Amino acid sequence: MAKEDIFKKLVAHCKEYGFVFQSSEIYDGLGAVYDYGQLGVELKNNIKKYWWDSMVKLHENVVGLDSAIFMHPTIWKASGHVDAFSDPLIDNKDSKKRYRADVLIEEQLAKIEGKIDKEITKAKKRFGDSFDEQQFRETNPRVLANKTKFEELHTRFAKALNDGDLDELKQIIIDQAIVCPVSGSRNWTDVRQFNLMFSTEMGATAEGASTIYLRPETAQGIFVNYLNVQKTGRMKIPFGIAQIGKAFRNEIVARQFIFRMREFEQMEMQFFVRPGTELDWFGKWKETRMKWHKALGFGDENYRFHEHEKLAHYANAAVDVEYKFPFGFKEVEGIHSRTDFDLSQHEEYSGKKIRYFDPELNESYVPYVVETSIGVDRMFLQVISAAYSEEQLEKDTRIVLKIPAALAPIKLAVLPLVKKDGLPEIARQIINNLKFDFNCQYDEKDSIGKRYRRQDAIGTPFCVTVDHQTIEDNTVTIRYRDTMAQKRVAIEKLENIIGEKVNFKELFGKL
Ligand code: ATP
């Protein structure tokens, strides 16, 4: 199946089963804003728990915070967001569509990479087992020509970005003959910077009101609380502060479902370290975070690190964790060594000392910061993309979401084989006993086969079927989602069998 088709199916599936809805749908929707439905909210909460517990519970020196979305407007001056949190935009004069200039060029780079991949796939087919990919990459003239093209464009693009040279970005688009996908024309405007922050007014009267911003990242709430947490928690460096919360960005190229939204949620951790040790910590967090992703079992080959082309002005190292979505490898998480930029800026703008007295060195300094920043929604899309599968069975196909059991929205469904003979009552009793520990669902409608399929489609790891034998010996059938294997077990064993599998411990054990 084409990858675009898989993605369309995923989006439709998320809606059909109550995971994700378009916001304000009955009013024809609001661009790049989404709501999470009855199952989506459960999955989202479980993802957040996986992150939060792995940060705060498993690291003695990481504590949590929940800061407000609204903050003093000067914070965004100090952080550089008022002046520099912008995207380079370009409009097509014929279609009147707006694009991010950097994204247009990145797509051009991906096209060239795609051509190389195509040559390799073709050659693989032609040569079969004797194919030596490395040799082919090093000698095939078409591959080599495209590789040179790629490298030249990449170098020119990185330089333009680093220099903030908007004219050069436009020139690249012209030289590469990039066309607007809607109008097909090359009739472009100049490239302009566009600030991504949403603003609103705080205060009752127009005269007394001041412009404030909806935070575009949760990180600044952590920086401005650094002293509060360090002092009241008697925290010793190195230590971290973790936060989960909403962030807002007026994204222009808002496509790809919940991959790029205007209102989204971030899980960020700022780790405060002694100056000079930040790159060691950067390396450590890079590995820790990659382990966290891979522990979910979606295939190590589907992850890679991507070094940044352009380092933000405050960073001395930055890397993205990329996951292979149906639309290609894309960023899920960023790990950044932010130096002492943010805390120093807040010192300057607030006039308050933001220091740490290091008893071992007997001196005070502004701590350096290593940040890990991941989008809840992107993580959600990663889980759904990895979990969605269509399986050909003997007689039909089944759609199954192979969500790791700890993250699954519903842990077990309890299904009376028939709606009579006291079976529904036993099923209800089982749920009553287990509902304090697990999210359970009761279902008595349709044939048992259809009910299994419904649970497969929402990723429920266990189905428990109550039948006539249950009345006699207190046993039920437990069916496993991934293998579809069924086993007869005593009712009183259910709690242990299920508990063992859905427990976060198993995931944490891999970290
Ligand atoms: P991108 O390059 O995709 O715009 P970014 O580099 O601006 O992302 P960061 O500022 O590093 O992203 O934000 C950290 C994380 O927050 C990202 O890795 C991503 O998971 C998430 N994120 C950022 N922007 C959005 C968005 N518009 N919608 C959903 N998640 C987002």
Tell whether 204 is covered by a domain: no
CA neighbor of 471 nearest in space, from 413, 420, 423, 416 = 423
Instruction: State residue 491's pLDDT score.
Output: 98
Instruction: State residue 2's pLDDT score.
Output: 66
CA neighbor of 403 nearest in space, from 415, 411, 394, 392 = 411
368 lies in the same domain as 499:
no
Cα 254 to Cα 325: distance, rounded to the nearest angstrom: 16
For residue 71, pLDDT over 80 is answered with yes
Ligand 1 in reach of 102 Cβ (< 6 A): no
Q: How far is the CA of 388 from the centre of ligand 1 (A)?
A: 23
Instruction: State residue 319's pLDDT score.
Output: 97
Tell whether 294 is covered by a domain: yes
The residue-averaged pLDDT of 302-314 equals 86
Instruction: State residue 205's pLDDT score.
Output: 64
55 lies in the same domain as 93:
no
Pocket test for ligand 1, best of 36, 243, 260 (most atoms within 8 A of CB): 260
For residue 255, pLDDT over 90 is answered with no
Instruction: State residue 402's pLDDT score.
Output: 98
Q: How far is the CA of 375 from the centre of ligand 1 (A)?
A: 6
Under DSSP, is residue 7 helix (H, G, I), strand (E, B) or coil?
A: helix
- Which pTM value belongs to this model? 0.89
For residue 62, pLDDT over 70 is answered with yes
Q: How far is the CA of 307 from the centre of ligand 1 (A)?
A: 15
For residue 115, pLDDT over 90 is answered with yes
The two tokens of residue 287 are 């590995």
Strand partners, 70: 214
For residue 253, pLDDT over 90 is answered with no
The residue-averaged pLDDT of 4-10 equals 88
pLDDT band at 308 (very low <50, low <70, confident <90, very high): confident
For 505-511, which contacts have Cβ atoms below 8 Å and span 24 or more sequence positions? 506/406, 507/50, 507/295, 507/296, 507/404, 507/406, 508/53, 508/54, 508/58, 510/291, 510/294, 510/295, 511/54, 511/58, 511/288, 511/291, 511/292, 511/295
Instruction: State residue 166 phi and psi, 5-degree precision.
Output: -70, -35
**Counting atoms of ligand 1 from 1, which one is nearest the CA of 251?**
27
Question: What is the percent of the chain where pLDDT is above 70?
Answer: 97
289 lies in the same domain as 354:
yes
Instruction: State residue 232 phi and psi, 5-degree precision.
Output: -70, -30
For residue 45, pLDDT over 70 is answered with yes
DSSP 335-399: EEEEETHHHHHHHHHH-----EEETTTTEEEPPEEEEEEEEHHHHHHHHHHHHEEEEE-SSSEEE
**Counting atoms of ligand 1 from 1, which one is nearest the CA of 378?**
20
Q: How far is the CA of 146 from the centre of ligand 1 (A)?
A: 30
Q: How far are the Cα atoms of 64, 292, 410, 434 from residue 459, in angstroms, in the given order?
A: 30, 21, 7, 19
Nearest CA to ligand 1 atom 20: 375
339 lies in the same domain as 373:
yes
Nearest CA to ligand 1 atom 2: 331
Which of 361, 392, 423 marks a domain boundary?
392
Ligand 1 in reach of 261 Cβ (< 6 A): yes
Ligand 1 in reach of 338 Cβ (< 6 A): no
Instruction: State residue 1's pLDDT score.
Output: 61
327 lies in the same domain as 262:
yes
Give, rounded to a whole angstrom, the gap between the first and last alpha carbons of the chain. Answer: 34
Instruction: State residue 84's pLDDT score.
Output: 85
Ligand 1 in reach of 336 Cβ (< 6 A): no
CATH code of the domain in which 466 resides: 3.40.50.800
Residues 199-234 have pLDDT tens digits of 998 886 666 668 899 999 999 999 999 999 999 999
The two tokens of residue 479 are 């069916």
For residue 411, pLDDT over 90 is answered with yes
**Counting atoms of ligand 1 from 1, which one is nearest the CA of 261?**
28
Residues spanned by the domain of 238? 1-70+211-392
435 lies in the same domain as 459:
yes
Q: How far is the CA of 129 from the centre of ligand 1 (A)?
A: 41
For residue 330, pLDDT over 90 is answered with yes
229 lies in the same domain as 332:
yes
Under DSSP, is residue 20 helix (H, G, I), strand (E, B) or coil?
A: strand
Nearest CA to ligand 1 atom 23: 375
Pocket test for ligand 1, best of 266, 285, 370, 383 (most atoms within 8 A of CB): 266
> How many structural domains are present in the chain?
3
Pocket test for ligand 1, best of 292, 331, 342 (most atoms within 8 A of CB): 331
Which of 392, 409, 431 marks a domain boundary?
392
CA neighbor of 266 nearest in space, from 220, 200, 324 = 220
259 lies in the same domain as 366:
yes
Which of 160, 195, 230 marks a domain boundary?
195
**Counting atoms of ligand 1 from 1, which one is nearest the CA of 373?**
14
CATH code of the domain in which 267 resides: 3.30.930.10
- The larger pLDDT score, comparing residue 377 to residue 3, is at 377
For residue 72, pLDDT over 70 is answered with yes
Tell whether 202 is covered by a domain: no
Instruction: State residue 10 phi and psi, 5-degree precision.
Output: -60, -45
Report for 29-33, 49-53, 98-102, 109-113: range of highest mean pLDDT: 49-53
- Average pLDDT of the chain, as a whole number: 94
Nearest CA to ligand 1 atom 11: 334
- The larger pLDDT score, comparing residue 129 to residue 215, is at 215
Tell whether 203 is covered by a domain: no
Instruction: State residue 261's pLDDT score.
Output: 96
- The larger pLDDT score, comparing residue 153 to residue 308, is at 153
Tell whether 200 is covered by a domain: no
Tell whether 80 is covered by a domain: no
The residue-averaged pLDDT of 269-279 equals 98
Q: How far is the CA of 358 from the centre of ligand 1 (A)?
A: 34
437 lies in the same domain as 333:
no
340 lies in the same domain as 450:
no
Tell whether 205 is covered by a domain: no
261 lies in the same domain as 190:
no
Cα 242 to Cα 371: distance, rounded to the nearest angstrom: 10
Ligand 1 in reach of 244 Cβ (< 6 A): no
The two tokens of residue 147 are 């590789």
The two tokens of residue 393 are 């069975």
Q: Residue 106: is it exposed, middle or buried by C-beta count within 10 angstroms (0-12/13-18/19+)?
A: middle
Tell whether 493 is covered by a domain: yes
Instruction: State residue 128's pLDDT score.
Output: 86
Instruction: State residue 256's pLDDT score.
Output: 83
CATH code of the domain in which 120 resides: 3.30.40.230
309 lies in the same domain as 338:
yes
The residue-averaged pLDDT of 403-429 equals 97
The residue-averaged pLDDT of 59-69 equals 98
